Amino acid sequence: MGIATVNPATGETLKTFKPLTDEQIEEKLATAQSSFEQYRQTSMEQRSEWLIAAAEILERDKEKFAQIMTTEMGKPIKGAISEAQKCAWVCRYYAENAPKFLADTPVSTDATSSFVRYLPLGVVLAVMPWNFPFWQVFRFAAPALMAGNAGLLKHASNVPQCALAIEAIISEAGFPQGIFQTLLVGSDKVEKIISDDRVKAAALTGSEKAGASLASAAGKQIKKTVLELGGSDPFVILESADLEAAVSTAVTARMLNNGQSCIAAKRFIVADRIADEFQQKLIEKFQTLKVGDPTDENTDIGPLATPGIVADIDRQVRETVSMGGKILIGGKPLDDRPGNFYPPTILANIPKGSPGEIEEFFGPVALMFRVANIDEAIALANNSEFGLGASGWTKDEKERDRLINELEAGAVFINGLVKSDPRLPFGGIKRSGYGRELGVDGIREFVNIKTIWVK
């Protein structure tokens, strides 16, 4: 696939970009390294000023940036504006908190003075996905830049204008030229870039396949990586749950970003006694969702990002049904219009071994499961290769504690929507990746945690 803006609502190719040549990549790597050598000497106060300026640009031009996101990957415009605002939040968060997070930590030993100092690593490569094309980048860039690192962004090939806009924001904010650069390259160039001695580490958000490829290439060079990969998040609803709140949140949890979110609720695991009522209410709410033009503020579900994603979802649904699954609503691509549209869909009676049981569904498809009790619920929730997020619904304290302790995930939200928050560490376990973004843990991933001992 080339590097291009293809409007997923119409299928129209709006703009194409030439990938960088090897000579241009070398020039950018050299610029990144020389910029880092200077930038690492800047004060925390100066970096904070620049990052706050970036936040102000994001807030000032949020509608413009939202339009780019919506045009390139189909995100409903309301969600795109919110995404730009959330990027401003993460910039302000690290501008305000990084000096505290990276302050020397004194430790009492046999030395006259001993402490831990956090120093930047150097040039860090970020390989980022299209689904949250601004947020994924800024949640990497804000802590990386505050820590004194330089950033290279290899963004998904279908969101090049987002990638260039982010570089422009960071430049306009006052950061030194070359400290954050976009590389318009295909995925075939990533291994060579991570192998370059000037690149010290890498972060990737994306598919398992992409994560394994990057981790393998970095591992050969003994370089640090942080991976945030796929998820098949369980949404567990027990008998004592507030059913109305659970249903309402379930719709948002599945349909956010047209269902294209790693931490979207995908498997709805419901206690038998309330399953019929939950299922009926969920169907009713799905029926009210408006699918259409993502630039229309009344649209709930826009197009999926690429034709390939529609084809993948269609295959997964058809295979699950052919093995015995049942479609309760939706279930077929919307071919009565141009663009990559798939309707809100619910699958039930999901057979063992089917895609509905074992694969991640990256689109507006909810998977319904029924369980007799909390033991079955936890076992089914954990019966997955993924472990990113989990949502549990109960009013019972003992059940709450069991869900917190026993659900295998990087985050467990009780009676709420799984979401990322600058104040909390974000990441997964199992095949959902390793390492953490956000919070104090996120900024300490790409630093040299240096022990200092003085006598």
What are the residue ranges spanned by the domains of the chain? 3-229+432-454, 233-421
Q: What pLDDT, on a 0 to 100 scale, did the predictor assign at position 277? A: 98
Nearest to 400 by CA among 221, 179, 242: 242
**CATH 1.10.8.60 for the 233-421 domain, yes or no:** no
* CATH code of domain 3-229+432-454: 3.40.605.10
Q: What pLDDT, on a 0 to 100 scale, did the predictor assign at position 58? A: 99
Region class of 258: left (phi > 0), else alpha (psi between -120 and 50), else beta: left
Written as six digits, the tokens of 59 are: 């807030």
Residue 193 reports pLDDT greater than 80: yes
For residue 393, the tally of other CB atoms under 10 A from its CB is 30
Q: What pLDDT, on a 0 to 100 scale, did the predictor assign at position 51? A: 98
Start-to-end C-alpha separation, the chain:
59
Check if 3-229+432-454 and 233-421 are the same fold: no
- What is the pLDDT averaged over residues 115-133? 98
Query: pTM of this prediction?
Result: 0.98
- What is the pLDDT averaged over residues 171-196? 98
d(CA 353, CA 378): 18
For residue 337, the tally of other CB atoms under 10 A from its CB is 12
pLDDT band of 316, cuts 50, 70, 90: very high
Residue pair 153/93 in contact by the 8 Å Cβ criterion: no
Residue pair 395/403 in contact by the 8 Å Cβ criterion: no
Phi first, then psi: give them for residue 219, nearest 5 degrees.
-60, -35
Residues 228, 357, 359, 408: which is the catalytic one? Answer: 228
DSSP H helices, 331-396, are 355-358, 374-382
Q: What pLDDT, on a 0 to 100 scale, did the predictor assign at position 1? A: 59
* Residue 228 annotated to the active site: yes
Residues 87, 91, 162, 262: which is the catalytic one? Answer: 262
Mean pLDDT of the chain: 98
* Residue 87 annotated to the active site: no
